[in-house]
Amino acid sequence: MLSRDTLKEMSDDKLIASLKSLVAKQSQLTAELLGHIAEVEERKLYLVQAYGSMFKFCVEGLGLSESMAYKYIAVARAAREHEAILAMVRAGRLHLSAAVLLIPHLTDVNCASLLEAAAGQSKRQVERLIAQRFPKADVPAQVRKLPEPSLPQSCPWDSQLALSTGTQPAAGTPVVTTPTTGTGSSCPDGSRRTVEPAAVATTGPAIPAEPPRQQRPRIEPLAAARYKVQLTAGRRVA
């Protein structure tokens, strides 16, 4: 493995050539790995290793992620029937994601032509290729209302509790409260609630909140000129 200093000393042309060489080696190694997985599963050696399935052996025994284990096993199984898959993976002309998409559509008749059409294509391009050759029916149009988000009901006095000691924590710092004897307090709407007046703010290292996961809009090709589109609309659209 080359050190960071060695890489910095490389010329631009040599660095690019080295990177391409590594990618080629990775393709060859991936093909070898697929062949090993196919043979281990065919011999059921995962049982000898005390694993109930090939998937468990790949994840727990080999340390692969679940998604990678699924791809390797699916492509390895297909390669036992269609050996051309391994040849194209070894040559760097077919990546695992494309192979997984093609597997359900491969037959002895179309294997060669379909693999050749997918050679060197991205995952999105392979999706379009499959939609053109194996078009799906139109999806039914539907509109449904999403549930309203539930908001916590709180008294406006809650925001003043941290001010009871005159101490303000730094922005983004969690507040740890030490409750004492509660007293009655009235909200502006006349309701009563028990308030913990002695809120002691304790500063500490801020714990970053996990960012909300946002799903990208999914436009799935159904045929050569038809796509499945799903979206979330506001009240005005309805």
Between residues 182 and 139, which one has the greater pLDDT?
A: 139
* Whether the predicted pLDDT of 197 surpasses 70: no
CB 86 within 8 A of CB 21: no
Of residues 205 and 57, the one with the higher pLDDT is 57
Q: For the chain, give the longest Cα–Cα distance.
A: 81
Contact, 61 vs 53, CB < 8 A? no
Average pLDDT estimate for 114-137: 94
- Segment among 4-18, 83-97, 162-176, 216-230 with least mean pLDDT: 162-176
pLDDT band at 149 (very low <50, low <70, confident <90, very high): confident
Mean pLDDT for 112-130 is: 95
Residue with the bigger pLDDT between 234 and 65: it is 65
CB 168 within 8 A of CB 134: no
d(CA 78, CA 87) in angstroms, rounded, equals: 13
d(CA 194, CA 184): 5
Judge whether residue 165 has pLDDT over 50.
no
DSSP track, 49-107: TT-SSHHHIIIIIS---HHHHHHHHHHHHHHHH-THHHHHHHTTS--HHHHHHHGGG--
16-30, 73-87, 191-205, 215-229: segment of lowest average pLDDT: 191-205
User: Is pTM, for the whole model, over 0.75?
Assistant: no
Whether 92 contacts 24, CB under 8 Å = yes
**Residues of the chain with pLDDT > 70: what percent?**
63
CB atoms within 10 A of CB 114: 21
Q: What is the mean pLDDT of the chain?
A: 78
Q: Which of 73, 133, 80 is nearest to 102 (CA)?
A: 133
Phi-psi region of 203 (alpha: psi -120 to 50; beta: other; left: phi over 0): beta
User: CA 46 to CA 55: how far, in whole Å?
Assistant: 9
Residue 220: which pLDDT band, with cuts at 50, 70 and 90? Answer: confident
136, pLDDT greater than 70: yes
Q: Which residue has the higher pLDDT, 50 or 163?
A: 50
Q: What percent of the chain has pLDDT over 90?
A: 53
Please choose, from the candidates 204, 200, 126, the residue with its C-alpha nearest in 3D space to the C-alpha of residue 167.
Answer: 200
Predicted confidence at residue 51, as pLDDT, reads: 97
